[in-house]
A and B are shown apart, each in its own frame.
Chain A
């Protein structure tokens, strides 16, 4: 018998057992539904994280440091290390623990800047800022950072500079517009804000304080912290991108030289002076995976530890993969359960149609053709189930997407569920094949049926 005729006959016999076909298909449909949703969610999350990274990280920028923690994506290593004047204590977590990190020095920064494949170097300035205010307004907390054009911040007013912020100016996050009582974001442009930074206790003041305490008298003077207030003009007002990563709010963005002088001020006289936890290094053509990897190799030869933007992306991607596999396993289990449903249905179908099989075999139909008749019947069930499940998932996903986006506050234009036609078609094909495999044993039983036995009337 020709395959086309077998397919037609298989489809026809399903049509004659509509309820049974539909119910068995529904079992497969549940699996197809779960898997379609899983795939769509995987697509959505991956696209979201891609956007997240594009919004928060410069793709050409690598994090370069002297400590191997830079490359560590897992739990930090807290074991003791050999002492070096460049080691800093970094506290982490809520347990009051701290970790020793070998830092990058000004000398390293100079060396990095001199490398031919390095476009720019941005040390990580952690500026201890006290508050921001403007004349006649209250004081508010803030965080400061050097501007990186690669991050492409979104602006509410003014525009993000292509190279660096003009010296003496600042990019102000939108939140401060209201707090500092500007009329609007536009109104803030060109106005002055005041940032106060603090210097830690110098060694001299501390020595004096300790000496006085040792003599058994109450110290005559309480050591005071030196502070400095800097006036900055607002160049632009930034806003959180649709996929901004930081939950803490945006930092004020500064000119590199301003940031450097502030950092120096706040660290002068301390062990931190001229040292940085890490530096962000922009590699020439670093958007390209191979260029970035090659640069990393060269930097490693100079004893630096490097985490490229691509590696960072992979780390997040791995997390998404694990999540997707977990949900996918449930879908696969459902499909396995429905396979038994198909096997059962097909056995019943063979039993019900013993006469028909006997007749077909008596009329000279090959056992192989009979087997394919049943395998294709199973294939139809798998395909119908796959289509129903995928369709259900698609309709539900598309209609729920706006609600999900709102509930999870993913930001406008971000969908959690992204359906890919090629994936869905692939899934349906796989389910069809799975159904054929499920129909294998019942089909073999049908193929081996003895026509004389099958046609016995009494």
Chain B
């Protein structure tokens, strides 16, 4: 469960202060899929950064699995991200000159997983995104869709409890985008990982259990596809 409580994020000082997020609160149940929807500059990326422990709020708290990550020291926060979070980016950020296996290996190395057990987990993750045949191919030789699938394999290899996907289909054509979306929802259901998608794609947002609409740093609307998802706090 992710509980966002009265998050405010301000950049700059006094006269030049800019409020990116203004008193945002909501709760995401474990295993749900959430879409954070908004235009660019709305604060949706800042929200994702704070939820994933990449950034710290100016005030408020983020409780993930009964742990307030806004209070964590940087070392514990790094560890939190290494063990609990998977990231997928619009621009893939796969290492072009590394092979698929080496790319997927990175989170395991960061989490200090023993060498012996890595190989099996890497193979499993690549298999799940149907890239087994490309295991020793360098990432630069993959197509866009394959690259994003590789990024998904990298995100799931460590069995994270939350996967953040920042515009995962933004750089893909609709056919490949659909395949990537399908994979993401599949893992959301299969592994029980909470999926947080940041997007301005309304079609993608509709497929999620929960949609959080953001405008100028505030939540304007929370839609839930299922009745059992509670919507707490929110609109001002």
Contacts and interface: CB of A to CB of B under 8 A. Distances in A.
A2 B111 CA distance: 9
Q: Which bracket fits the contact residues of B?
A: 20 to 34
Contact of A455 (B75, B93, B106): B93
Interface in B71-121: 74-75, 78-83, 85, 87, 89-91, 93, 95, 97-98, 102, 106-107, 109-112, 115
Nearest to B45: A452
B80 A364 contact: yes
Given A2-B112, A5-B109, A364-B83, A457 B91 contact: yes
Contacts of A452: 49, 54-55
A1 B95 contact: no
Interface string A1-39: 110110001001000100000000000000000000000
Interface stretch (A73-81, A166-174, A269-277, A355-363): A355-363
A451 to B, nearest CB: 6
B97 A362 contact: no
Contact of A457 (B81, B90, B98): B90
A366 interface: yes
B111 A364 contact: yes
A400 interface: no
A365 interface: yes
Contacts of B106: 359-360, 363
Interface string B104-147: 00110111100100000000000000000000000000000000
Interface string A348-388: 00000001101111111111010000000000000000000
Interface residues of A, number: 24
Contact of A363 (B55, B90, B110): B110
B97 A16 contact: yes
Contacts of A366: 75, 78
Contacts of B74: 367
A364 B90 contact: no
A362 B55 CA distance: 10
Contacts of A361: 78
Main secondary structure on A side of the interface with B: helix
A35 B236 CA distance: 73
Contacts of B78: 361, 364-366
Given A362-B87, A363-B81, A1 B93 contact: no
A98 to B, nearest CB: 79
Given A2-B112, A16-B97, A364-B79, A455 B85 contact: no
With most chain B CB atoms within 10 A of its CB, the pick from A4, A359, A360, A367 is A359
B107 to A, nearest CB: 5
A359 B98 CA distance: 14
Nearest to A15: B97
A358 B55 CA distance: 13
A230 B85 CA distance: 106
Contact of B87 (A9, A12, A363, A365): A363
A88 B79 CA distance: 88
A359 B49 contact: no
Looking at A367, A369, A457, the one whose CB has the most chain B CB atoms below 10 A away is A457
B83 A455 contact: no
A365 B95 contact: no
A1 B112 contact: yes
Interface string A218-239: 0000000000000000000000
A362 B54 contact: yes
Contacts of A16: 97
A364 B80 CA distance: 7
Interface string A124-166: 0000000000000000000000000000000000000000000
Contacts of A360: 106, 110
A366 B77 CA distance: 10
Contact of B98 (A2, A12, A365, A455): A12
Contacts of A364: 78-83, 85, 107, 110-111
A16 B138 CA distance: 12
B3 to A, nearest CB: 22
A369 B111 CA distance: 12
Q: A16, A355, A362 — which one has the most chain B CB atoms within 10 A of its CB?
A: A362
B72 to A, nearest CB: 12
A360 B54 CA distance: 12
A362 B93 CA distance: 11
B95 to A, nearest CB: 6
Given A9-B109, A364-B79, A365-B82, 4 more contacts: A363-B81, A364-B83, A364-B110, A366-B75
| 9 tightest A-B CB contacts, nearest first | A364-B82, A364-B81, A5-B109, A16-B97, A364-B78, A365-B110, A359-B93, A457-B91, A364-B110
27 contacts: A2-B109, A4-B115, A12-B102, A355-B93, A359-B87, A360-B106, A360-B110, A362-B81, A362-B87, A363-B82, A363-B87, A363-B106, A363-B107, A364-B78, A364-B80, A364-B82, A364-B85, A364-B107, A365-B78, A366-B75, A366-B78, A367-B74, A455-B89, A455-B93, A457-B89, A457-B90, A457-B91
Interface of B: 49, 54-55, 74-75, 78-83, 85, 87, 89-91, 93, 95, 97-98, 102, 106-107, 109-112, 115
